[in-house]
């Protein structure tokens, strides 16, 4: 299964300016709604066992980890604040008729 799009959530499940944790094939993924545009990253912080879906969106484009306040750029997964040093995996998503699709 490569280069296919699979339904992972409804757009209505991801609040504007918020996050929504989902699982795909057992992998934890965090969805973000930034002014109507949907992004997806791996949900677990690269510094420790924290769900980024429980974190806080900062400056409209970064996610702050709820455990030690490290930050990642949501669109790129880049670690931008200590103690996070390793970048976060990101996933390609799109929205079609109110459904969020993940590229697999």
Q: Interface with ligand FES by CB under 6 A: which residues?
A: 45, 47-48, 50, 65, 67-68, 70, 83-84
Nearest residue (CB) to ligand FES, 19 versus 102? 19
Tell me how far, at minimum, the Cβ of 63 lies from ligand FES, in Å. Answer: 10
Tell me how far, at minimum, the Cβ of 2 lies from ligand FES, in Å. Answer: 31
Measured torsion, CA atoms of residues 32, 20, 79, 6, in degrees rounded to the nearest 10:
-70
**Nearest residue to ligand FES, by Cβ distance, number only:** 48
Q: Are strands 99-103 and 5-10 parallel, antiparallel or unpaired?
A: antiparallel
Tell me how far, at minimum, the Cβ of 6 lies from ligand FES, in Å. Answer: 28
Q: Tell me phi and psi for residue 53, to 5 degrees.
A: -65, -20
Integer Cα distance of 16 and 50 in angstroms: 22
Tell me how far, at minimum, the Cβ of 91 lies from ligand FES, in Å. Answer: 19
Integer Cα distance of 23 and 59 in angstroms: 26
Nearest residue (CB) to ligand FES, 45 versus 100? 45
Nearest residue (CB) to ligand FES, 21 versus 83? 83
H runs (alpha helix) in the chain: none
Q: Tell me phi and psi for residue 3, to 5 degrees.
A: 55, 45
């Amino acid at each position: 299964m490569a280069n296919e799009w699979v339904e992972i959530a409804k757009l209505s499940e991801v609040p504007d300016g918020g996050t929504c944790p989902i699982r795909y094939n057992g992998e934890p993924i965090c969805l973000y709604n930034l002014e109507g545009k949907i992004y997806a990253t791996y949900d677990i912080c690269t510094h420790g066992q924290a769900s980024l879906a429980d974190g806080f969106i900062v400056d409209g484009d970064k996610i702050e980890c709820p455990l030690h306040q490290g930050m990642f750029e949501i669109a790129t997964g880049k670690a931008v604040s200590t103690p996070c040093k390793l970048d976060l995996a990101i996933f390609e998503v799109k929205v079609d008729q109110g459904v969020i699709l993940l590229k697999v």
